[in-house]
Amino acid sequence: MNFDRLHTLYHQPLFDLISRSRAVHLEHWRGKSVQRCSLLSIKTGGCSEDCAYCAQSAHYSTGIEREDLLPLERILSAAKQARAQGATRFCMGAAWRGVHDGTDKFERVLETVREVSQLGMEVCVTLGQIGDDEAVKLKAAGVTAYNHNIDTSPDFYPRIVSTHTFQDRVDTIRAVQRSGMSVCSGGIIGMGESVDDRLHMLEILSEFDPQPESVPINCLMTMPGTPLADAPPVDIFDLVRLIAVARIAIPRARVRLAAGRTRITREGQAFCFFAGANSIFFGDKLLTAENPAATADVKLLRELGLRIDSHETRNCGPAGLVSR
């Protein structure tokens, strides 16, 4: 969807926008559940890149302890625990610029994916830049989706990252698409970008062909020691508007209310679900950042009467997903 249309949508009165996004949501997702994804950092800190928001960049003193690639057994045990807590998608993130075929670390990732994919959850990885060879092998190993966020608009991107380019991000996404893996791609708001930057980001996401299967919308988690440590919180209505526009522009995507939920009230989160969000990161930790307690999330979703994606409902086919 082009920028002008996104701009018109975004700037209409809030309740008109929400009514429209709700209609699109019901058309495509009526009766479907909220997906719960669990996220594990499999390699933490010490990253060569200088992303201004990221606590894992080696360019900043953030107090994050570096950890090498976790052993397979630790990852498997975390994946089993996530499944036991109800996660239906398990995402593994690595603080790397990227990975290359033929390296020991890539072989270890492939082996990990083969094992985790036996557990019956969707498997998502976020490993930074990859090319065609890596994408094909990851898919063959059992990866369902590759996360690679474009994070913001092309114009704003150089203000937050200097060690790689926006085009590098897009090139990875294209390699993922060619391999047949699903693309999970979204961005961060609250880094000092304008509303137009956010809409340019949505323009690019919505014009990918095919559109991303999943679109995480992160609110900046301010990380001490990073250049964005003192950024003010995102206004809830700005977030709701962006989610609503994302729902309209990318109707079949899971729109994920991702990082930053600890700074959003329960009422604010409810508003986001109403506007079109239908996926959350679930579990007490998000890579290195805090996340609401899993029990609090289940309580909130139940109180709202939202269906929660679980192994039971996933496996019982259309009957389990009857519309309300």
Active site residues: 47, 51, 54, 91, 124, 184, 256
Which C-beta is closer to ligand SF4: that of 5 or that of 59?
Answer: 59
**In the numeric block, which tokens belong to residue 288?**
């290195």
x/- site string to ligand SF4, residues 70 to 109, per CB under 6 A? -------------------------x-x------------
**Cβ neighbours around 239 below 10 Å, total:** 25
Radius of gyration of the chain (CA): 18
Task: Please report the DSSP string for 230-298 in residue order.
Answer: TPPPPPHHHHHHHHHHHHHHSTTSEEEE-TTGGGS-HHHHHHHHHHT--EEE-SSEETTEE---HHHHH
DSSP bridge partners of 216: 256
Cis-peptide, bond into residue 210, ω within 30° of zero: yes
Listed residue (234, 322, 309) closest to 272, CA to CA: 234
- Residue 44 binds to ligand SF4 (criterion: CB under 6 A): no
Burial bucket for residue 82 (CB in 10 Å: 0-12, 13-18, 19+): buried
Span of 79-87, 148-156, 192-200, 275-283 interacting with ligand SAM by CB under 6 A: 148-156
307 binding ligand SAM? (CB under 6 A): no
Q: Residue 220 touches which of ligand SAM, ligand SF4, none (CB < 5 to 8 A by kind)?
A: ligand SAM
For ligand SF4, the binding residues in 103-132 under the rule CB under 6 A are: 128
Stretch that binds ligand SF4, among 45-53, 74-82, 227-235, 300-308 (CB under 6 A): 45-53
Residues found near ligand SF4 in the complex (CB under 6 A)? 47, 49, 51, 54, 56-57, 95, 97, 128
Residues found near ligand SAM in the complex (CB under 6 A)? 53-54, 56, 93, 95-96, 126, 128, 148-149, 151, 188, 218, 220-221, 223, 259, 287
